[in-house]
């Protein structure tokens, strides 16, 4: 299991995005990834109008 976190901050309009993720190797050559994106800021700022979203990916390698 591996976790990461990534973020961007716009100092001009004080908006930001934070992207944590967790990946897990289910079995050899089969990986599961959960990624969440948190956007925040006032309306009409770079990241303020996106809300939040989540993704799940199942990847098979061969």
The DSSP annotation for 2-27 comes to EEEEEEEEETTTTEEEEEEEEEEEEE
CA distance 23 to 44: 33
Please report the pLDDT score of residue 40 as a whole number.
95
Domain boundaries, the chain: 2-60
Please report the pLDDT score of residue 19 as a whole number.
98
Please report the pLDDT score of residue 32 as a whole number.
98
Both tokens of 12, joined, read: 């001009």
CA distance 7 to 13: 15
Reported as a single tens digit per residue, the pLDDT across 1-59 is 999 999 999 999 999 999 999 999 999 999 999 999 999 999 999 999 888 999 999 99
- Nearest one of 43, 62, 40 to 53, comparing CA atoms: 40
Assign residue 15 a region (left: φ > 0; alpha: ψ between -120 and 50; beta: otherwise): beta
């Amino acid at each position: 299991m591996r976790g990461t976190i990534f973020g961007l901050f716009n100092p001009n309009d004080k908006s930001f995005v934070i992207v944590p993720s967790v990946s897990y190797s289910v079995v050899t050559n089969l990986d599961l990834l959960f990624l969440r994106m948190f956007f925040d800021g006032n309306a009409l700022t770079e990241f303020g109008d996106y809300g939040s979203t989540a993704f799940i990916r199942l990847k098979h390698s061969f």
